[in-house]
Structure 1
Amino acid sequence: MIVLDCSAAVEIARDSAEGRALAGLMHEDETIVAPSLLLVEASNVAFKYFRAGLLDRAGALALLEDSLALVDGFADMAVLAREALGESMRLGHPAYDLFYLVLARRLGATLFTLDKGLLSLCEECGVDTVHELPTDGE
């Protein structure tokens, strides 16, 4: 099972070198989940690409749809909130990222992220992550 964060979902949807490397590590029948926070974060990323002139409206919507289509199921943030806040305070790290870490830990899943700070926290907390990604030189 994989927990997918926004950085990973967007790069897979964009078909970047890092995204292709992550996608290559997914098994066809593997379940992919994310906290419902991904809906908000991916929407915001698509908006930022639109605002920067990197995507038109249709492209921004497609980026959002492609990012969300990677996920088989969304975990309710209300169920994760107390634990995420507790870990946030304990680790001194923003709560946003801790929703992904807590979900991966609860499920015994591998967290796919490109966020170096979150990768470091996962290592510290014993949560399985993908560490180094071979890319095709992009």
Structure 2
Amino acid sequence: MIVLDTNAAVAIAMGTDLGDALVMLRNPDERVIAPSFMHAEVAHVMSKYVRGGYLEVSQAVDCARDALLLVDEFRDDASLWTEALTESLRLGHSSYDLFYLVLARREGATLFTLDRKLQKLCDKNGVNAVWLDWNFG
């Protein structure tokens, strides 16, 4: 099972080199899950791409849709928030990121993320996360 975070989903949807590398690492039979607030995060990222002049609105909508369609099942944030909060405080890391870490830990899943700090945090806490060579491609 894979837990997919927003930056990885957007990279895959946009067809970046790192996104393509994640696609190659995924077994097509593996289920992909994510916290339900990923919808809000993807919308936020896409709005930044439009405001920054990198995408047109229609492109951002298509990219967001593609990113969200990568997920087979969204898990309810209500079941994650308490643990994400307490782990965020214990580990001194963003509570947003901890939703993904907590979900991966609970499910015994591999976290697909491009966030180096989150990858290191997973490593230190026994959660499997994909590490990519930044010079991939």
TM-score range, shorter chain: over 0.9
1:115 and 2:115 equivalent?
yes
Map 1:36-47; keep pairs closer than 5 Å. Answer: 36-47=36-47
Instruction: After TM superposition, give the deviation of residue 135 of structure 1 in Å.
Output: 2.1
Distance in 2 (alpha carbons) for counterparts of 1:132 and 1:94: 22
**Paired residue for 1:72?**
72
One-letter amino acid of the counterpart of residue 87, structure 1? E
- For structure 1, the 5+ residue unaligned runs are none
TM-score of the two chains, using structure 2 as the length reference: 0.97
TM-score of the two chains, using structure 1 as the length reference: 0.96
**Paired residue for 2:85?**
85
Deviates more, 1:105-114 or 1:24-33: 24-33
Q: Indicate conservation of the 8 Å contact 2:49/2:55, yes or no.
A: yes
**Paired residue for 1:23?**
23
One-letter amino acid of the counterpart of residue 2, structure 2? I
1:100 and 2:100 equivalent?
yes
Residue 129 of structure 2 aligns to a residue in which SS?
coil
Distance in 2 (alpha carbons) for counterparts of 1:73 and 1:132: 24
Residue 131 of structure 2 aligns to a residue in which SS?
coil
**Paired residue for 2:131?**
131
1:52 and 2:17 equivalent?
no
One-letter amino acid of the counterpart of residue 135, structure 1? F
Distance in 2 (alpha carbons) for counterparts of 1:70 and 1:132: 19
> Deviation digits for residues 7-55 of structure 1, max 9, x if unmatched?
1000000000000000111111110000012111111111111111111
Instruction: After TM superposition, give the deviation of residue 84 of structure 1 in Å.
Output: 0.4
Aligned residues: 136
Report the RMSD for the aligned CA atoms in angstroms. Answer: 0.9
Identity %: 51
Q: Indicate conservation of the 8 Å contact 2:9/2:68, yes or no.
A: yes
One-letter amino acid of the counterpart of residue 95, structure 2? A
